[in-house]
């Protein structure tokens, strides 16, 4: 990964491209690279859908190697949803393939002069880009079926659905999984709208004829990655819970903890939780001939994904993740797995973020468009998005916009981005992360659920303000570093509890690159990423006032614990005092 592919979509006479050396970005990958490029090259006050924004796609430090769990890809830009910097992260095959093709990043620059759509092909023979308006408004599954017929079974694809073409702020970028299904999404922040603004419908990545990336010290790399796998396999979360029940194993756990946001964040327990839990989901998937355990990319050993078949035993969608099951399930008062799976399929097919869409449907229910619990009504609303109706465009612009249009006060967003599946009153550490991360409300930015609920990496009382600032701070720093390696964030469970597993990850990076990094260097990397992101947001006009939860979280007591968000504004302003 010694070069950057820059594609100028606004060049006179049509798109042009050039390969450039890493230059100032040498040594960076993943989120560290996307955020560095955006912070340095994108004017902070530019329009997110304008020619001055850039879409940066970067594999991680260890992507394209034999290291387990190294297949995450980072997508960065100025977000049309938040107005600030964004890094959205996805699994699937794209990161491994792009890394083996030798690219540290693809940077899409400029903007076409018209509405022409383009394909971008990258393989061992080089790069090709050409217009193809026959792809217009194709949903992701139909698009990828067409691509598979043309490029065979080994290529990976990154694509946008109709939502991205319509430049809706909830639009995602789909990455294909091992079966070439468009199921792994860089979902958050509207990155799909930015790809749509650049006129790129699909990126074809084909590493046929390319070798696995080679480490500087093969023996040390082999030994450190062996210890890495051992550490992941012996941890109860990454070795047992996630493989058995997927991410949705959290439904019963959070519901029991009283932190499962239900009916648009009105209460912390959902009577129908057991019906949509990971245990119930795995049983149903197995019964119908699907898979309760499956990896989203080659080299995944946690295997927290799966396949969901319909009542007739036909493939419908990938196993809906915990966040999706919550967003379209408990948050909307829906307790039917088939309905939730259909909503997951529609979101993936149209190319929208499942968290943002579920929260948006919840706000629409609050506004009275449909009733809580109306599964068919929720399906109809998401179909409006795919069809690009007036209502669909409102909904596809996210929860904040929908709340404004329909006069709803109780809209669970920070910096314009919807909150995920943990109420910040019952899990106060995640509330600190929601409020202060540069990304807008985002659980993955500093997953305080670890110590607040799961007793991983320590134990901090979830309903008291004490210790939450330090917890979120440390996790935000660590996460920024992990997001730069290409590693799946779920490795954090083992890394937090097992010092030897953390050391194995560091040793793997050192052996691969011939470095001598220490734990302190990893912390410094995380801090540098956050510094770049916060600097961009400050120049974009963000102040401490944006690092806040909506007022009602401080005023409305949250059942069953009847508690409000207790962390003070003064303490929130101390998160980045390191």
pLDDT at position 385 over 80? yes
Pairing of strands 3-8, 103-109: parallel
Task: State the pLDDT confidence band at 294, using cuts at 50, 70 and 90.
Answer: confident
- What is d(CA 7, CA 38) in angstroms, rounded to the nearest whole number? 15
What is the mean pLDDT of the segment spanning 280-288?
A: 94
What integer pLDDT is reported at residue 400 of this predicted model? 98
Per-residue pLDDT at 246: 82
pLDDT given at position 241: 81
pLDDT band at 240 (very low <50, low <70, confident <90, very high): confident
Q: Binning pLDDT at 50, 70 and 90, where does residue 96 land?
A: very high
Using CA atoms, how far apart are residues 455 and 241, in angstroms rounded to an integer?
Answer: 14
8 A C-beta contact, residue 395 and residue 385: yes
For 208, list phi and psi in degrees, rounded to 5: -55, 130
Alpha-carbon span 54 to 43, nearest angstrom:
10
Task: pLDDT band for 508, please (50, 70, 90 cuts).
Answer: very high
Whole-angstrom Cα distance, residue 200 to residue 407?
35
- Does an H or E element contain 285, and which? helix 278-287
Q: In the predicted model, is pLDDT for residue 134 greater than 80?
A: yes
For the domain 3-205, what is the CATH code? 3.60.9.10
Distance CA 28, CA 10 (A): 27
Residue 264 pLDDT more than 80?
yes
Measure Cα distances from 572 to 138, 481, 553, 564, 577 in Å.
44, 22, 14, 15, 10
- Only one residue has tokens 């609920």, namely 453
For the chain, report the end-to-end CA distance as a whole number of angstroms.
32
User: Which of 248, 277, 91, 120 has the alpha carbon at shortest distance from 184?
Assistant: 91
Output the pLDDT for position 293.
83
Burial 53-65 (b: 16+ CB within 10 A, else e): bbbbbbbbbbbbb
Mean pLDDT of 511-519: 95
The closest alpha carbon to 428, from 196, 268, 280, belongs to: 268
What are the DSSP calls for 53-83, one per residue? Answer: --EEEEE-TTTTSS-TT---EEEEEE-TTTS
Q: Who contacts 3 (Cβ-Cβ below 8 Å, separation ≥6)?
A: 19, 20, 21, 22, 102, 103, 104
pLDDT at 242 over 80: yes
Indicate the length of the chain as a whole number.
578
Report the alpha-carbon distance of residue 540 to residue 80 in Å, rounded: 12
The reported pLDDT for the residue numbered 169 is 98
Q: What pLDDT digit, counting tens, does each position of 391-439 carry?
A: 999 999 999 999 999 999 999 999 999 999 999 999 999 999 999 999 9
Contact 88, 78 (CB under 8 A): no
Give tens-digit pLDDT for 167-216: 999 999 999 998 999 999 999 999 999 999 999 999 999 999 999 999 99
Distance between CA atoms of residues 220 and 216, nearest Å: 9
Instruction: Name the packing angle between helices 278-287 and 337-350 (round to 10°).
Output: 90
d(CA 256, CA 233): 26
10-19 pLDDT, tens digit per residue, is 999 999 999 9
What integer is the mean pLDDT of 439-453? 96
Using 50, 70 and 90 to split pLDDT, how confident is the model at 291? confident
pLDDT value at residue 492: 85
pLDDT for res 541: 98
For residue 305, list its beta bridge partners: 294
For residue 546, is pLDDT > 80? yes
pLDDT in tens, 328-344: 999 999 999 999 999 99
79 and 191 in contact (C-beta within 8 Å)? yes
- What percentage of residues in the chain have a pLDDT greater than 90? 91
Place of tokens 């947001």: 537
* pLDDT-based confidence at residue 48 (cuts at 50, 70, 90): very high
With CA atoms as reference, report the closest residue to 189 among 173, 202, 165, 177. 173
Give the Cα separation of 543 and 539 in Å (integer). Answer: 9
Q: Is the pLDDT of residue 467 over 90?
A: yes
pLDDT in tens, 106-130: 999 999 999 999 999 999 999 999 9
């Amino acid at each position: 990964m010694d070069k950057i592919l820059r594609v100028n979509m606004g060049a006179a006479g049509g798109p042009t491209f050039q390969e450039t050396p890493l230059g100032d970005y040498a040594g960076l990958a993943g989120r560290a690279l996307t955020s560095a490029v955006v912070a340095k090259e994108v004017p902070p006050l530019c329009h997110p859908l304008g020619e001055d924004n850039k879409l940066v796609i970067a594999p991680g430090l260890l992507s394209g190697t034999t290291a387990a769990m190294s297949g995450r890809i980072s997508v960065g830009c100025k977000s049309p949803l938040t107005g600030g910097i964004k890094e959205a992260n996805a699994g699937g095959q794209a990161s491994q393939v792009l890394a083996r093709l030798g690219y540290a990043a693809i940077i899409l620059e400029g903007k076409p002069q018209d509405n022409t759509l383009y394909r971008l092909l990258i393989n061992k023979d080089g790069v090709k880009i050409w217009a193809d308006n026959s792809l217009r408004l194709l949903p992701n599954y139909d698009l990828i079926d067409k691509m598979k017929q043309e490029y065979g079974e080994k290529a990976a694809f990154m694509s946008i659905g109709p939502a991205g073409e319509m430049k809706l702020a909830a639009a995602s970028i789909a990455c294909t999984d091992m079966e070439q299904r468009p199921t792994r999404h860089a979902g958050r922040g509207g990155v799909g709208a930015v790809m749509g603004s650049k006129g790129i419908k699909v990126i074809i990545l084909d590493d046929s004829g390319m070798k696995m990336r080679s480490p500087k010290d093969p023996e040390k790399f082999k030994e450190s990655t062996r210890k890495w796998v051992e550490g992941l396999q012996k941890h109860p979360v990454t070795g047992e819970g996630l493989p058995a029940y997927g991410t949705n194993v959290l439904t019963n756990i959070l519901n029991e903890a009283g932190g499962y946001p239900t009916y648009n964040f009105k209460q912390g327990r959902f009577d129908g939780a057991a019906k949509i839990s990971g245990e119930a989901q795995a049983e149903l998937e197995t019964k119908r001939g699907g898979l309760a355990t499956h990896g989203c990319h080659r080299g995944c050993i946690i295997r927290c994904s799966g396949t969901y078949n319909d009542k007739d035993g036909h493939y419908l969608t990938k196993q809906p993740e915990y966040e999706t099951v919550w967003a379209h399930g408990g948050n909307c008062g829906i307790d039917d797995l088939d309905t939730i799976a259909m909503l997951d399929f529609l979101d993936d097919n149209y190319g929208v973020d499942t968290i943002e869409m579920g929260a948006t449907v919840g706000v629409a229910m609050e506004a009275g468009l449909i009733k809580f619990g109306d599964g068919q009504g929720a399906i109809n609303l998401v179909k409006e998005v795919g069809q690009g109706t007036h209502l669909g465009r409102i909904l596809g612009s996210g929860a904040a916009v929908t709340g404004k249009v329909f006069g709803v006060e109780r809209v669970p967003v920070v910096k314009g981005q919807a909150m995920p599946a943990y109420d910040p009153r019952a899990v106060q550490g995640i509330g600190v992360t929601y409020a202060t991360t540069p990304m807008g409300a985002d659980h993955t930015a500093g997953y305080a659920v670890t110590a607040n609920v799961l007793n991983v990496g320590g134990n901090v009382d979830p309903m008291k303000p004490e210790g939450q600032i330090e917890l979120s701070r440390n996790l935000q720093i660590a996460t920024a570093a992990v997001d730069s390696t290409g590693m799946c964030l779920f490795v954090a469970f083992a890394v937090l509890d097992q010092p030897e597993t953390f050391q194995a990850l560091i040793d793997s990076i050192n052996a691969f690159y011939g470095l001598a990094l220490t734990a302190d260097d990893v912390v410094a990397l995380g801090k540098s990423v956050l510094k770049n992101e916060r600097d961009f947001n400050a120049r974009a006009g963000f102040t401490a006032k944006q690092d806040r939860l909506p007022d009602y979280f401080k005023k409305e007591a949250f059942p069953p614990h009847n508690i409000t968000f207790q962390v003070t504004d003064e303490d929130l302003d101390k998160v980045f005092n390191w």
